[in-house]
Structure 1
Amino acid sequence: MSNPPIILASASPRRRELLQNLGLHFDVIPADIDETHGPDETPFELVRRLSVTKAEAVARRYPDALVIAADTLVVLRGEILGKPKDREQNRDFIARLSGRTHEVFTGHALRRGEGRAERVVRTAVRFRKLTDDEIDRYVATGEGLDKAGGYAVQGRGAALVREVRGCYFSVVGLGVATVVALGRELGVTLV
């Protein structure tokens, strides 16, 4: 039996690249959903809800496909650091992360017909202690402006990171092993 068509419910170029690295052929159909944080939602609950909502929004239109959705949050001492609105906020985020450990939560949700498979992965990331000059140089690259927490662990931001405890690929935005395992739960062999 052949695998169903695969849809990535995300416009993230990083998620697209991670799936392409597996040799998968898929369509990209971003889910347009309200990503407002509920007042009492924990980061775990929020990434779970957002990834599930994205998957379900696309799966309703493509019930015969395997839909893969994800959402990633950076959390420092209970505070969610989203995508910085400008370079000043990006600098603030990086300065606050300097020398500290933060958490990255990535919610994964797959849908195939009536089948549902979901998992939230939590990874601890520790930044090395950065100088003001290093922070300024990183922010000047603009790399972190469209990234949760204001940095890209797979890019120049790798030089900021001292240690990753958990799934590196979840920090990038999509836990590859997690997606493969969830696909298997739905009867789809991805690798």
Structure 2
Amino acid sequence: MDLILASTSPYRRELLSRLRLPFHCLPPGVDEDAMHRLGLPPAELAGRLAEAKADAIARHHPGAVVIGSDQLVAFDGRVLGKPGSPDRAVEQLLTLSGREHELITALAVRLGDRLIRHTEVARLRFRPLSRPELERYVAADLPIDCAGSYKLESLGIALFDRIDCPDHTAIVGLPLIALTTILRDLGVSVP
């Protein structure tokens, strides 16, 4: 069975490769900005984005198992996106400093007419950090392409004093525990 990851994320690619299954990656080409403008609650938005990514690829590969995923940071009921610049990254991190937020990772797996969705919510608490500390972090880790302006799989782990999540792979971008269960349910032999 053909397995496709609807993503260009190197983090998700690395995570999926842990399962030692043959797969390839395709860019889903989903207009994420348009989805963000719908004003959906954060968990629903993440789920809809993951589903849209899986569906975009599945339309052209109807016999494949297509994996879509999306991740976003929810803070005070709003979504914090990818900062896009070092200055915006520092500002986002200052907002989160000393406070708790949620990292929502949604998964959508499509095989033909069958769609299975899963959402993992991690609760993370930042250490109280100063602007100079955060500026040094951003310069060292360059998290401008990451939701919430941090890379947990890298130096960003030092920003936190607590992370509560049942599946630590979800905080990097692809919840492998749930994905393994879903793939088995779809008949994919996972080693």
State the TM-score, normalized to the length of structure 1.
Answer: 0.93
- What is the aligned partner in structure 1 of residue 6 from structure 2? 9
- Greater CA deviation, 8-17 or 140-149? 140-149
C-alpha separation in 1, matches of 2:189 and 2:76: 38
Q: What do residues 119-148 of structure 1 show as CA deviations (whole Å, max 9, x unaligned)?
A: 111110111111332111011125210000
- What is the aligned partner in structure 1 of residue 19 from structure 2? 22
Shift of 1:53: 0.7
The correspondence of residues 1-191 of structure 1 with structure 2, limited to 5 A, is 4-35=1-32, 36=34, 37-166=36-165, 167-191=167-191
Q: What do residues 50-105 of structure 1 show as CA deviations (whole Å, max 9, x unaligned)?
A: 10011011011111111111000011111211000211110011111111111011
Q: How many residues align?
A: 188
Letter in 2 for 1:170: A
State the TM-score, normalized to the length of structure 2.
Answer: 0.93
Q: What do residues 23-76 of structure 1 show as CA deviations (whole Å, max 9, x unaligned)?
A: 122111010011121443101110111100110110111111111110000111
RMSD: 1.3
C-alpha separation in 1, matches of 2:65 and 2:179: 11
Which 4+ stretches in 1 moved above 3 angstroms? Answer: none
C-alpha separation in 2, matches of 1:14 and 1:49: 20
C-alpha separation in 2, matches of 1:115 and 1:66: 10
Percentage of matched positions with identical amino acids: 39
Partner-residue secondary structure (3-state), 2:189: coil
C-alpha separation in 2, matches of 1:13 and 1:88: 24
- Greater CA deviation, 150-159 or 18-27? 18-27
Runs of 5+ unmatched residues, structure 1: none
Runs of 5+ unmatched residues, structure 2: none
Partner-residue secondary structure (3-state), 1:153: coil
Partner-residue secondary structure (3-state), 1:61: coil
